[in-house]
Copies of this chain bind each other. A is one copy, B any other.
Amino acid sequence: MSLRAVFFDIDDTLYSSTRFAWRAREQAVAAMCRAGLRVPRERALAELAEVVAEFGSNDDRHYDRLLQRLGPDSHAGAHPALIVMAGVIAYHETKWRELTIPETERRLLADLAAAGLRLGVITAGLRMKQAEKILRLGLDRFLDPDLVFITDQEGIAKTNPKLYLRAAARAGIEPGQAMHVGDHPLHDADTARRAGMIAVLHQGSGKYAHLEGGLEPHHRIDELAELRPILVEYGVDLPG
Contact indicator per residue, chain A 82-102, by CB within 8 Å of chain B (1) or not (0): 101110110000000000000
What is the CB-to-nearest-CB distance from A31 to chain B, in angstroms, rounded to a whole number? Answer: 9
In this complex, the interface size class of chain A, counting residues with CB under 8 Å from chain B, is 20 to 34
Q: Do residues B146 and A79 form an inter-chain contact, with CB atoms below 8 A?
A: yes
Q: Do residues B128 and A85 form an inter-chain contact, with CB atoms below 8 A?
A: yes
A131 contacts chain B at the CB level, 8 A cutoff: yes
Contact of A131 among B84, B128, B131 (CB under 8 A): B84
What is the CB-to-nearest-CB distance from A64 to chain B, in angstroms, rounded to a whole number? Answer: 9
Question: Which residues of chain A from 147 to 194 have any CB-CB distance to chain B below 8 Å in the complex?
Answer: 148, 150, 153
A135 contacts chain B at the CB level, 8 A cutoff: yes
Contacts of A84 in B (CB 8 A): 128, 131
Distance A84 CA – B153 CA, assembled complex (angstroms): 13
Contacts of A128 in B (CB 8 A): 81, 84-85, 88
Contacts of A79 in B (CB 8 A): 131, 145-146, 148
Q: Do residues A85 and B148 form an inter-chain contact, with CB atoms below 8 A?
A: no
Q: Do residues A81 and B148 form an inter-chain contact, with CB atoms below 8 A?
A: yes
Can you name 11 A-B residue pairings with CB atoms under 8 Å? A78-B145, A79-B148, A81-B128, A81-B130, A81-B153, A84-B128, A85-B131, A85-B134, A88-B128, A88-B132, A89-B132
